[in-house]
């Protein structure tokens, strides 16, 4: 693979695209890679192309960079496909928050489970089906590296609806959790050994060591001595479940029934309800700042992000062995989770591709929470694969935070309102309103 072709689908997510390109071009062997950028937004695509050229020049890369409004042109002959599409962008995200809020349903991020996660998945699935068909035709040997949320639902859907097998979902939550814990424990990250597994945004640190030292014991001492640490959801979950979760407190609070339903818990654990809407605005501002700087001929800050996709590409191209965390269909990797569910596990990467590692069984209390998560995911995928709109409601009924907040009649009414709001982005069979 002398000049790999890397297609970015949704390259108009310019800030994220910039970070990935900085990581790619930091590898000498990838400085000549063909970068094919695709987006349906002309202005964002133009901005992404300008940013890519700027980063290539800054890092001394000789990469040919092409921009395509036609997705098929970008995919043709690709060796790697990076999917970073967000269907509906900020407008759809605001809908995901505003309509549930009228029902008294609280969300913080809304991109993984809950009403927000359900409808983000349902409006993404038609894109994934079309993308999968194009890959099968135009670049059947390519690896699809997915960053689009809801991660686990999207990977399960790709597996069941497209038949693609060279697919892995990538998220930085395990990496940054270990970095944060290393800083908290004042241990060099490079010297920490760890093992994590579970599901995306609700995986668990199963082992955490510095040499022969069990760092969990040191973490217990810090938590016991610091009241402010105890005012974090993920710390609260760790104290009760025995293993530290791999996502932020804002994310973690949405996947269980214990926190967002209670005003006292929101105050105790300082939970920012609706926080993601602020992040959406920050992302828009960051994009506009980049767009305007490039138009004015100003220099951009070029920083790597340590994301997994560039590491995977480098390992496959060069044969360099690495371990990353990936989201893949279970198929026996974790014994006490459903076989067809998507799990997050360590994966070995080299010239032969991405190879998930078997974990065995999770501690039962962790598997119990993960099974509920995967049950909800499965119902959303079943809704799309089987064209069964009732399963949308069944998924919402299964979701822990939604079920803790609303009676079942209101859940069905909420789903009807969400279907009406997102109808144009849903596959036709799922646009039905069913009443309460």
**pLDDT tens digits for range 230-261:** 999 999 999 999 999 999 999 999 999 999 99
Q: What's the rounded Cα separation, in Å, for the pair 78 and 396?
A: 38
pLDDT for the residue 10: 95
> Residue for token digits 């992040």?
279
Query: CATH 3.40.50.720: does it fit domain 5-169?
Result: yes
Single pTM value for the model: 0.95
Q: Computed from CA positions of residues 10, 167, 189, 255, in that sequence, does the dihedral angle turn out positive or negative?
A: positive
- Considering 172, 210, 251, 331, which one is annotated as catalytic? 172
Q: Going by C-beta distance under 8 Å and a sequence separation of 6 or more, which residues neighbour residue 375?
A: 338, 398
Q: What's the rounded Cα separation, in Å, for the pair 11 and 39?
A: 6
160-188 burial, b at 16+ Cβ within 10 Å, e below that, comes to ebbebeebbbbbebbbebbeebbeebebe
**pLDDT tens digits for range 180-205:** 999 999 999 999 999 999 999 999 99
pLDDT for 72 beyond 70: yes
**pLDDT tens digits for range 56-71:** 998 999 989 999 999 9
**DSSP state letters, 229-245:** GGGSHHHHHHHHHSS-B
Lowest mean pLDDT: which of 10-14, 121-125, 160-164, 204-208? 10-14
pLDDT for the residue 300: 78
pLDDT for the residue 211: 92
**pLDDT tens digits for range 153-180:** 999 999 999 989 999 999 999 999 999 9
Of 283 and 132, which is predicted with more confidence? 132
Q: What's the rounded Cα separation, in Å, for the pair 364 and 119?
A: 30
pLDDT for the residue 1: 62
Q: What's the rounded Cα separation, in Å, for the pair 219 and 210?
A: 12
CB 273 within 8 A of CB 260: yes
58 belongs to the catalytic site:
no
Whose CA is closest to 349, among 317, 386, 303, 396? Answer: 317
pLDDT for 306 beyond 90: no
Please tell me what DSSP assigns to residue 348: E
**H-type alpha helices, 172-305:** 173-185, 215-225, 233-241, 249-253, 263-268, 275-295
Q: List the domain boundaries for the chain.
A: 5-169
**What tokens were used for 3?**
């000049």
pLDDT for the residue 92: 92
Of 403 and 285, which is predicted with more confidence? 403
Number of Cα atoms under 13 Å in the Cβ half of residue 153: 32
Backbone angles phi, psi at 322, to 5 degrees: -145, 165
pLDDT for the residue 285: 86
Whose CA is closest to 20, among 251, 281, 312? Answer: 312
Confidence of residue 391 (pLDDT cuts 50, 70, 90): very high
Estimate the crossing angle of helix 364-385 against helix 390-398, to 10 degrees.
Answer: 160
Mean pLDDT of the chain: 94
pLDDT for 345 beyond 80: yes
């Amino acid at each position: 693979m002398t000049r790999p072709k890397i297609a970015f689908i949704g390259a108009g997510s310019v800030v994220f695209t910039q970070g990935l390109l900085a990581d790619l071009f930091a590898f000498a062997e990838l400085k000549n890679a063909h970068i094919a950028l695709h987006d349906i937004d002309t202005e964002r695509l133009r901005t992404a192309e300008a940013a890519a050229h700027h980063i290539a020049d800054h890092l001394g890369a000789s990469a040919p960079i092409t921009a395509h409004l036609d997705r098929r042109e970008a995919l043709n002959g690709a060796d790697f496909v990076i999917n970073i599409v967000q269907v509906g962008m900020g407008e759809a995200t605001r809908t995901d928050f505003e309509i549930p809020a009228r029902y008294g349903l609280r969300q913080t991020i809304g991109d993984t489970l809950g009403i927000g996660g359900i409808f983000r998945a349902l409006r993404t699935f038609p894109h994934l089906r079309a993308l999968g068909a194009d890959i099968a035709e135009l670049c059947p040997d390519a690896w699809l590296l997915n960053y689009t949320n809801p991660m686990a639902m999207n990977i399960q859907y790709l597996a069941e609806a497209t038949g693609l097998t060279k697919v892995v979902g990538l998220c930085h939550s395990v990496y940054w959790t270990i970095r944060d814990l290393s800083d908290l424990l004042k241990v060099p990250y490079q010297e920490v050994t760890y093992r994590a597994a579970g599901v995306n945004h609700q995986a668990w640190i199963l082992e955490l060591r510095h040499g022969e030292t069990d760092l969990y014991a040191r973490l217990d001492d810090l938590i016991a001595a610091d009241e402010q640490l105890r005012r974090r959801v993920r710390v609260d979950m760790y104290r009760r479940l025995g293993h530290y979760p791999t996502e932020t407190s804002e994310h973690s609070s949405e996947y269980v029934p214990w926190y967002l339903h209670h005003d006292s818990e929101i105050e105790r654990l300082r939970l920012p309800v609706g926080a993601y809407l602020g992040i959406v605005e920050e992302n828009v501002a960051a994009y506009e700042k980049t767009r305007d700087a490039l138009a004015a001929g100003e220099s951009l800050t070029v920083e790597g992000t340590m994301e997994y996709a560039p590491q995977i590409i480098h390992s496959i191209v060069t044969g360099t062995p690495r371990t990353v965390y990936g989201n893949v269909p279970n198929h026996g990797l974790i014994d006490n989770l459903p076989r067809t569910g998507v799990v997050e596990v360590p994966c070995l990467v080299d010239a032969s591709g991405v190879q998930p590692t078997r974990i065995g069984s999770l501690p039962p209390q962790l598997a119990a929470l993960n099974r509920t998560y995967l049950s909800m995911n499965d119902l959303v995928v079943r809704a799309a694969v089987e064209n069964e709109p009732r399963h949308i409601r069944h998924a919402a009924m299964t979701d822990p935070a939604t079920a803790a907040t609303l009676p079942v009649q209101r859940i069905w009414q909420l789903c009807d309102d969400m279907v009406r709001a997102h109808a144009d982005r849903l596959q036709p069979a799922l646009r039905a309103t069913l009443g309460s």
